[in-house]
Amino acid sequence: MARAGLSTQRLIDAGAELADEVGFDQATLSALARRFDVKVASLYSHLKNSHDLRTGIALLALEQLADRAAEAMAGRAGRDALAALGNTFRDYAREHPGRYAAAQYRLYPQAAAASAGVRLSQLTRAVLRGYDLAEPEQTHAVRLLGSAFHGYVALELAGGFSHSAPDSQESWSRSLDALDALLRNWPAP
């Protein structure tokens, strides 16, 4: 009986593709087994359970996001860095909606601390180096920036901005302008 050549990594990679195609919560072990033309029980040699698959996809997505963000932000500051980070999130979510959803998957604190999510939040903080903000205002700004990026991407992905003028791209671009202006003129506490 020929073997299918499964491995944890191959399953997670295929799971990520599956998630992009059918949605993160439709990326089931059953569907994954079907994709490899293998019985579901066979997957349990490589994954502890379905939570394991989801965690794996989440960690993959965070890695990819952090890699892309680091590359996009390299050598940029101010509005350029801000746009690089924001566009990384938005583009990734549009290219890989399932993975983007996975990146929001609730990890155990321990797993979260060891994930690329940490790198990602360092990059967000790095954007603020181009502006003049001391603690604790810097942290407030990091949180607001993360909220605005994530919120915009989530609402856009949910179709919130799709069926009315003006174009979502236009609003996105102006939102980056606005956030840049805000960081340059952060109100006194």
Partner DNA sequence: TCCATTTGCCTATAAGCATTAGGCAAATGT
Partner DNA sequence: ACATTTGCCTAATGCTTATAGGCAAATGGA
**By the criterion CB under 8 A, which residues form the site for its own copies?**
25, 104, 106, 109, 136-137, 139-141, 143-144, 146-152, 154-155, 158-161, 163, 165-166, 168, 170-171, 174-175, 177-182, 185-187, 189
The interface with DNA within residues 45-84 (CB under 7 A) comprises 45-46, 48-51
Asked if 42 is part of the footprint of DNA (rule: CB under 7 A), the reply reads yes
Residue number with CB closer to DNA (107 or 141): 107
Q: Are 65 and 88 in contact (CB under 8 A)?
A: yes
Q: Which stretch binds DNA (CB under 7 A): 30-38, 66-74, 123-131, 154-162?
A: 30-38
Residue number with CB closer to DNA (51 or 143): 51
Residue number with CB closer to its own copies (31 or 182): 182
Provide, rounded to whole angstroms, the least separation between the CB of residue 50 and DNA: 3
- The tokens for 156 are 């856009």
Provide, rounded to whole angstroms, the least separation between the CB of residue 60 and DNA: 18
Check whether the bond before 166 is cis (ω within 30° of 0): yes
Tell me the Ramachandran region of residue 31: left when phi exceeds 0, alpha when psi lies from -120 to 50, beta otherwise: alpha
Residue number with CB closer to its own copies (14 or 172): 172
Q: Check residue 185 and report its DSSP letter.
A: T
Asked if 30 is part of the footprint of DNA (rule: CB under 7 A), the reply reads yes
Q: Check residue 44 and report its DSSP letter.
A: T
Asked if 110 is part of the footprint of DNA (rule: CB under 7 A), the reply reads no
Q: Report the half-sphere exposure of 155 (CA within 13 A, side-chain side).
A: 12
CA 181 remoteness from chain centre: 25
Backbone angles phi, psi at 104, to 5 degrees: -90, -5
Spatial separation of the C-alpha atoms in residues 28 and 35, rounded to whole Å: 11
- For residue 75, the partner it binds in its own copies, DNA, none, with Cβ less than 5 to 8 A by kind, is none
